[in-house]
Amino acid sequence: MIKILKLFLSLSVMTLVFFSCQEREDPVETEKRNSRNGKINIWIQNLMDQGYYWLEQMNDPIAIDSDPEEYFNALLFKPTDRYSAIFPNYQEIANSLQGIRREAGYEILLARESQNNENVLAFVAYIKKGSPAEEKGLKRGDVITQINGTTITLSNRQSLLSSRSENHSVSFLRYNQEEDHYEPQPEVSLSTVQLSENPNFLDTVYTVGNQKIGYVVYHFFARGIPGQEDRYDRQMDDIFAKFKSEGINNLILDFRYNGGGSLASTLNLASLVAPNVTTEDVFLEQRYNSFLSQFEEFQDDNLEFLSKSQNLGPILENNRVYILTTGRTASASEMIINGLKPYMDVKLIGTTTEGKNVGSALLQDSDNPENDFGMMPIITMLFNSAGQSDFINGFAPDIEAEELSQRFLAPLGDTEEYYLRLAIDDITGSSSATERRAQVDRIQLGDSFANKAYTGRTIIEDFKFPQKP
């Protein structure tokens, strides 16, 4: 009996060793894991297992040697997660988050020309300073009808719009306000260049009666550029210092095209606006998944306001800030709205914002030179000091207005520009000529902002994963 037991135990050990060796030395599986895709996907899986906000709802992985983009997207908790993303080139996306990309330098809003045809009109939303589009005289409000000699239509608009990433030509119309009609302009050829866009697009002060109004057009949240990492934040500080020295008593933030960006810049701007706050007051609270929440540095992770001598909060009339919004107003822009609400009246003019209450980090594999991918998974949900984060359907405006309902787009900063005029009229209490403007019924089809790296994103800079316990 003892001999039989010994034989059984011996066979059991041999069987365990056999299967263990067989599993460990499977050459096919080893080859897959050691392939280029395999190594990248192991990196993806390891980071997602640590930081992905919806950790418990993450899907099972597909084959380890799959295309990395397919592997990453298969893990996501959809449709709840609308924003996690992976990009084939880390450096390209890192540059884009700072406003550096190859382009001609103009943004567009799309609408159908008529319900009776399939033609699409591309309204120029704004022109970037120092760009080829500016050099060739393109202006906000111009209406592009053709790209590379081909009329934009419902069926070809995607391919034509993507061709704008290379040198191209545009045929367009320009509104003649005196004659009240659009006139054809000569075709323009546009080159593309590596352009560094400054998000601080425009700032000015208006005096209307007894009101002094500061106005800022801010297109995305970015601290600066390589070598001048805080350049844009410091420029914003200077703008607010000027507003303060000129004694403004009302503030308008134009976020209509602002799709998000740096959380650090979001905090900087909020600290310039919020009234009577100290470095002990909470702007936003970040909450993480069950794994990260085990670590002390990820518990009670609050962003407190900064101490800013340029802060305007106490001098703003009725403790109010005006923010101009559209469906393109997202993420970090919405964090400003949500984070300021417990401290002041935030009055919105425009259309409902996108509705994004989560944040991501741009992650790089610095250990694998063959891995060029940049990954941006959602890692946190953000709440204001009152514990509120319930705006996944966006923030509805207090005064509803759609800029493409206007016959033409007036220049940004012009006091007769539709959104700005509505804000000024509300501040001054005047009866607006905007109420008597004829509205144009246009079917909107999208815009050029959706492809921006920062659109719909709040970016957590310098994010570090802890070591697993």
Question: What pLDDT is recorded for position 25?
Answer: 60
Among 192-196, 307-311, 317-321, 450-454, the minimum mean pLDDT is found in 450-454
Give the CA distances from residue 81 to residues 8, 56, 196, 230, 362, in Å, rounded to whole numbers and listed in that order.
Answer: 53, 13, 30, 31, 16
Question: What pLDDT is recorded for position 28?
Answer: 78
Partner residues linked to 325 by β-bridges: 350
Pairing of strands 106-112, 399-400: unpaired
Question: What pLDDT is recorded for position 146?
Answer: 96
Residue 15 pLDDT exceeds 70: no
Q: Tens digit of pLDDT for each residue in 215-263?
A: 999 999 999 988 898 999 999 999 999 999 999 999 999 999 999 999 9
Question: CATH code for 197-439+449-459?
Answer: 3.90.226.10
CA dist 89 and 101 (Å) reads 13
Task: Cite the residue boundaries of each domain of the chain with CATH code 3.90.226.10.
Answer: 197-439+449-459
Q: Tens digit of pLDDT for each residue in 377-406?
A: 999 999 999 999 999 999 999 999 999 999
Residue position matching structure tokens 């993450």 = 58
Question: What pLDDT is recorded for position 5?
Answer: 35
- Count of CB atoms within 10 A of residue 363's CB? 21
Residue position matching structure tokens 């897959």 = 32
CA dist 104 and 134 (Å) reads 9
pLDDT band at residue 32 under the 50/70/90 scheme: confident
Pairing of strands 374-376, 85-87: antiparallel
User: Could you tell me which CATH class the domain 103-192 is placed in?
Assistant: mainly beta
pLDDT band at residue 36 under the 50/70/90 scheme: very high
Round the CA-based radius of gyration of the chain to a whole number and report it: 26
CA dist 283 and 136 (Å) reads 43
Structure tokens at 232: 């844009």
Question: What pLDDT is recorded for position 279?
Answer: 97
Of 118, 97, 99, nearest to 107 (Cα)?
99
Partner residues linked to 221 by β-bridges: 261
- Average per-residue pLDDT in the chain? 91
Query: Who wins on pLDDT, 21 or 430?
Result: 430
CA dist 205 and 463 (Å) reads 38
Task: Cite the residue boundaries of each domain of the chain with CATH code 2.30.42.10.
Answer: 103-192
Question: What pLDDT is recorded for position 13?
Answer: 43
Give the CA distances from residue 176 to residues 135, 139, 182, 183, 405, in Å, rounded to whole numbers and listed in that order.
Answer: 21, 13, 6, 7, 18
Determine what percent of the chain is predicted with pLDDT higher than 70.
92
Q: Are 70 and 88 in contact (CB under 8 A)?
A: no
Residue 235 three-state SS: helix
Residue 6: phi, psi to the nearest 5? -65, -40
Residue 10 pLDDT exceeds 80: no
pLDDT band at residue 115 under the 50/70/90 scheme: confident
